[in-house]
Amino acid sequence: MSVGYQPVQWSRHKRVYDAVVLAVIVAYIGTFVAIGSLAWRGVEAISFPILLMRALGSCAIVLLHAILCIGPLARLDRRFLPVLYNRRHLGVMTFLVALAHATVAIVYYHAFGVVSPLLSLLGINQNFTSLHAFPFQLLGVLALCVMFVMAATSHDFWLRNLGAAAWKRIHMLVYPAYALLVGHVALGALQTDRGILAPITLIAGAALVTALHLVAGSREAKHDRPAPAPDTATDTDWLDVGPPDDIPDNRARTVCAPGGERIAVFKHNNSISAVTNVCAHQGGPLGEGKVIDGCITCPWHGWQYKPTDGRSPPPFTEKITTYRVRILAGRVQVNRTALPAGTPVEPAQIPATTSSTETTPLAPLNPAHNRPLT
Amino acid sequence: MTRPLRRAHQLAWLVLAPLIAILLLAALWQRSRPPAQDPPAALQGVAR
C-alpha cells in the first residue's frame, strides 16, 4: 500500500507462487520437447530449436488463456478470487516466455542470412492479401510489443503514478494483443501443422475466453441498473438497499446510483456503513470483499479501509469516498451523494427489530466535510 | 472498476468476439484448401 517503496514487493506467498508457476512452465516445455521428439520421427523429425520454439510459443498462449480466464471467473465465482491475487506475476512470466519464443524464432529463421534479422522478419514477406502466406510474424511482434508495455508497467510504482484508471486502460490492451496472437497462431502454425490437436485447442480456448468475458460482462451490465428510490423517501437523494437482514454479516450489498458508481453497503458489528465500490488500488470491487479485523478488505489484493471513514488503517494513507446511511421503516437507505474521500460517517445502528419506523439519521461526524463532490 | 472501464471491457469483447470468430473461420477455411502450387519460375516465364 502507501508505505515505502520497494522495487518488487516480495512476500513468502509470492515467492512460492512464482516458484510453482516457474516449475509448471519448465515441466510443460520439457514435456512438450520430449513428446515432440518421440512423435515426430524419421522424415518428419523436427530439429531441437524448432521444437523449443513451438514449446515456448504454445506455453505462452496457454498462459495467456489462463490469465484472460481469471478475471471473468473471479467475477462469476468468488472461489476464483485467490487466483487473481498474483495475476500480474503470471502476466510478466507470460511475456518472458513469449520473448524467449520470439528470440529462438528470430535467431533460427532470420539471423544467419546477409539481411538484418529484423528486416528479414518484418520487411521481406509483404503478402498482406494472402491468407496462406500472410506475414503472421508481424502479428506476433505487435502482440509482443503490447505485452512488453504491460509487463514493464506491472508494478505498483506505475499504478500509483499513472492512476488506477489510466493503468487499467493500458492493461486492457491485452485484449487486442490476444486477438493478434490468435491471428499469429491461426495464420502461422495452423497453416503448416496439419494435425487436428492444434486447431481444436485454439478454437476451444478462444471460445472459452470469449464466452467467459461476454457472460461476465452481461452480468455486470445487469448490476449497473440503478437501485430504486425507497417508497418512504420524500426526496430522491436516498436509495433503497433492502432490509438489514438481507446483508450478510461482515459482507456488503451493492447498489447503483443512477448515472453514478456502485455503492457498497456493509453490515458489521450490528451496524451499517457505506463506501464506494471502487478500491483505490486497482479499482477492485470492494462490495465483493468482507470485513476482516474491522476493515473492509478488497477481494482482489487485500487493500483495507475502515468502514466508518474509508481510510486505510495506519500507517497506510489511502482513502475512499463514503456515503451517509440510515435505517428507515426497517429498510437500509444510502444517500447517493458521495462525500469527499475519508469523510467519517457514523454507522447506522441496526435496531433490535428493524420493522420500526423510527429513523436513524446519520450525519457525517465532521459537518465541514459534508459537501457533495463536484 | 469504475463504470466507464466496465463499459470499455464489455464493448471490447463485443467487438473482439466476432473478429476472433471470423479470423479462426478464415484460417480453418484456408487450411482445408489443398496447398497452393506456384508454377515454377520457368513456366511463369513461358506463360508470359
Q: Does B3 touch chain A (CB under 8 A)?
A: yes
Q: Does B2 touch chain A (CB under 8 A)?
A: yes
Q: How far apart are CA A75 and CA A90, in angstroms?
A: 18
**How distant is the Cα of B43 from the closest Cα of chain A, in angstroms?**
21
Interface mutation vs chain B, best among A214, A222, A373, most B CBs within 10 Å:
A214
Are A182 and B17 inside 8 Å of each other by CB? no
Q: Write the DSSP symbol of residue A325.
A: E
Residues of A in contact with B33 (CB under 8 A): 132
Find the farthest-apart pair of alpha carbons in chain A and give their distance in angstroms, rounded: 86
- Please report, for residues A246, A280, B13, B15, the alpha-carbon distance to residue A356 in angstroms, rounded to integers and kept in the order given: 16, 36, 47, 51
pLDDT at B14 (0 to 100) = 94
**How distant is the Cα of B47 from the closest Cα of chain A, in angstroms?**
22
Statement: residue A349 has pLDDT above 80 = yes
Are B13 and A221 inside 8 Å of each other by CB? no
Of B5, B13, B36, the CB nearest to A132: B36
Q: Does A217 touch chain B (CB under 8 A)?
A: yes
Produce one character per residue of A135-167: b if its CB has 16 or more CB atoms within 10 Å, e if not: bbbbbbbbbbebbeebbebbbbeebeeeebeeb
Please report, as a single letter, which amino acid is at residue A75: R
> Which chain A residue's Cα is nearest to B17?
A210
Please report, as a single letter, which amino acid is at residue A351: P
Are B30 and A175 inside 8 Å of each other by CB? no
Q: How far apart are CA A113 and CA A172, in angstroms?
A: 38
- Please report, for residues A132, A148, A224, B32, B40, the alpha-carbon distance to residue B26 in angstroms, rounded to integers and kept in the order given: 10, 29, 36, 10, 27
> Which chain B residue's Cα is nearest to A186?
B27
Q: Do you find a cis peptide bond into A315, omega within 30 degrees of 0?
A: yes
A123-147 pLDDT, tens digit each: 878 888 888 888 999 999 999 999 9
Find the farthest-apart pair of alpha carbons in chain B and give their distance in angstroms, rounded: 66
Q: Does A221 touch chain B (CB under 8 A)?
A: yes
Q: Does B19 touch chain A (CB under 8 A)?
A: yes
Q: Does A198 touch chain B (CB under 8 A)?
A: no
Count of A-B CB contacts under 8 Å: 87
Residues of A in contact with B5 (CB under 8 A): 165, 168-169, 172, 283
- Please report, for residues A70, A259, A307, B6, the alpha-carbon distance to residue B2 in angstroms, rounded to integers and kept in the order given: 19, 12, 20, 6
Q: How far apart are CA A190 and CA A202, in angstroms?
A: 9
Q: Does A165 touch chain B (CB under 8 A)?
A: yes
> Which chain B residue's Cα is nearest to A198?
B28
Q: Does A182 touch chain B (CB under 8 A)?
A: yes
Nearest to A323 by CA among A265, A267, A259: A265
Residues of A in contact with B21 (CB under 8 A): 206, 210
If one compares B5 and A203, the residue with the highest pLDDT of the two is A203
Q: How far apart are CA B20 and CA A205, in angstroms?
A: 11
Measured in whole angstroms, how far is the alpha carbon of residue B7 from the centre of its chain? 27
If one compares A160 and A293, the residue with the highest pLDDT of the two is A293
Statement: residue B10 has pLDDT above 60 = yes
A249-270 pLDDT, tens digit each: 999 999 988 777 899 999 999 9
Q: How far apart are CA A88 and CA A43, in angstroms?
A: 42
Cell of A256: 447503483
Residue showing cell 446511511: A325
Statement: residue A183 has pLDDT above 80 = yes
Q: How far apart are CA A132 and CA B33, in angstroms?
A: 10
CB atoms within 10 A of CB A260: 15
Q: Write the DSSP symbol of residue A278.
A: B
Are A186 and B23 inside 8 Å of each other by CB? yes
Q: How far apart are CA A227 and CA A257, in angstroms?
A: 6
Residues of A in contact with B37 (CB under 8 A): none
| Range in A29-38, A153-162, A309-318, B23-32 with the lowest mean pLDDT | A153-162
CB atoms within 10 A of CB A10: 10
Three-state DSSP class for residue A82: helix
Residues of A in contact with B8 (CB under 8 A): 169, 172
Are A165 and B14 inside 8 Å of each other by CB? no
Are B27 and A214 inside 8 Å of each other by CB? no
Q: Where are the beta strands (DSSP E) in A57-99?
A: none
- Please report, for residues A25, A169, B10, the alpha-carbon distance to residue A1 in angstroms, rounded to integers and kept in the order given: 30, 21, 29
- Mean per-residue pLDDT over chain A, rounded: 86
Pairing of strands A304-305, A322-323: unpaired
Statement: residue B25 has pLDDT above 90 = yes
Are A202 and B17 inside 8 Å of each other by CB? no
- When pLDDT is cut at 50, 70 and 90, the band that residue A1 belongs to is low
Portion of chain A with pLDDT greater than 70, in percent = 89
Nearest to A347 by CA among A254, A274, A261, A255: A274
Contact of A307 with A323, CB cutoff 8 Å: no
Are B16 and A210 inside 8 Å of each other by CB? yes
What residues form DSSP beta bridges with A326? Answer: A333
pLDDT at A365 (0 to 100) = 42
Are A191 and B31 inside 8 Å of each other by CB? yes
Q: How far apart are CA A304 and CA A157, in angstroms?
A: 19
